[in-house]
């Protein structure tokens, strides 16, 4: 499996498995564990969760049941808006407890809350010094948020996980992160899951350009989009629930996109978000509670 080397030397598998809303939003039961175990059996080793997903326990059970050595896995979680600031260390401890782990590979600030960023990041730096987490990063951060962190951070963010797909290519943000040696990870790389209420016909996987490329290469539309990211050294964390989709998202070898193919996908950008906008997300995020 190909990896990206983060700016602190830690290697992260380029292809991860997203766990947001497996089954339903904040579902945490045997079905979630079984879905994650399916992904492990296919070969996934990088799993992305968050306290607010409410399924860290299900991932923890899958890790235990898989029998895989801990060091073979790459586990990411995130601190939610309502846990930031002075709550950060306690939120991290709760995540570790739910996951039944001694350390995390990557811990992210889930959404920017500039008023708390300094306190949140400094608490995370302490966890990093204590070797409770191997890398620190951001999620949904804007350029201004990253510039704010740069004014006081002793530990540099290793990555920024953002909504990125053919209809929202975020070229300027990608270039900015690249310049500052911050890896880019893509959530909703296929254009949002079933939880979003977005109809399949409105997603990039049904775009004629993507469909044509899929036919040309003899692969699925999803595989084309994931390969478009990976060939540009971006981390992707697609979510899937059926064994066929989990497997298809993992099988990205055996074909290469040309520069023309990549340019054709790049040109589909509409600056269209399926998920929340960092400019306005915090107001609604504050209403969402992290389940115990």
Binding site listing for substrate: 110
Sign of CA dihedral 42, 46, 52, 57: positive
- d(CA 258, CA 211) in angstroms, rounded, equals 16
Q: Contact at 8 Å (CB) between 36 and 23?
A: no
Q: Specify the residue for token string 């400019």.
A: 279
- d(CA 66, CA 205) in angstroms, rounded, equals 32
- d(CA 69, CA 162) in angstroms, rounded, equals 29
Q: Specify the residue for token string 């989990």.
A: 246
What does the block give as tokens for 197?
């209420």
How many Å from the N-terminal Cα to the C-terminal Cα in the chain? 34
The residue annotated as part of the active site, out of 44, 53, 107, 167, is: 53
Residues across the chain: 292
The CA R_g of the chain, rounded to the nearest whole Å, is 18
Is-catalytic flag, 116?
Answer: no
Nearest alpha carbon to residue 264 among 227, 228, 223? 228
Q: Contact at 8 Å (CB) between 79 and 110?
A: yes
What does the block give as tokens for 230?
């990976």
Q: Contact at 8 Å (CB) between 190 and 204?
A: yes
Q: Specify the residue for token string 């949002």.
A: 192
Annotated binding site: 110
Residues with active-site annotation: 53
């Amino acid at each position: 499996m190909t990896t990206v080397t983060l700016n602190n030397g830690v290697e992260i598998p380029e292809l991860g498995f997203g766990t947001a809303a497996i089954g339903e939003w904040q579902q945490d039961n045997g079905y979630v564990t079984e879905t994650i175990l399916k992904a492990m059996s296919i070969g996934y080793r990088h799993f992305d969760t968050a306290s607010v997903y409410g399924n860290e326990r299900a991932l923890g059970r899958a890790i235990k049941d898989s029998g895989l050595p801990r060091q073979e896995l790459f586990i990411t979680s995130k601190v939610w808006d309502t846990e930031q600031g002075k709550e950060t260390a306690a939120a991290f401890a709760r995540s570790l407890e739910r996951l039944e782990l001694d350390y995390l590979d990557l811990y992210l600030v889930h959404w920017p809350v500039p008023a708390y960023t300094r306190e949140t990041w400094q608490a995370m730096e302490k966890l990093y010094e204590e070797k409770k987490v191997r890398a620190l990063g951001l999620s949904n951060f804007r350029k201004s948020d990253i510039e704010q962190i740069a004014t006081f951070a002793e530990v540099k963010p290793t990555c920024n996980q953002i909504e990125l797909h053919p209809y929202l290519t975020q070229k300027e943000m990608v270039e900015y992160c690249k310049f500052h040696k911050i890896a880019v990870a893509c959530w909703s790389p296929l254009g949002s899951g079933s939880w979003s209420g977005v109809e399949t016909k409105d997603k990039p996987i049904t775009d004629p350009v993507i469909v044509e490329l899929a036919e040309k290469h003899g692969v699925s539309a999803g595989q084309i989009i994931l390969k478009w990211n990976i060939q540009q050294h971006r981390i992707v964390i697609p979510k899937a629930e059926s064994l066929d989709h989990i497997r298809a998202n993992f099988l990205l070898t055996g074909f290469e996109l040309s520069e023309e193919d990549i340019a054709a996908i790049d040109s589909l950008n509409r600056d269209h978000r399926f998920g929340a906008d960092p400019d306005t997300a915090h107001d609604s995020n504050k209403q969402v509670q992290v389940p115990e």
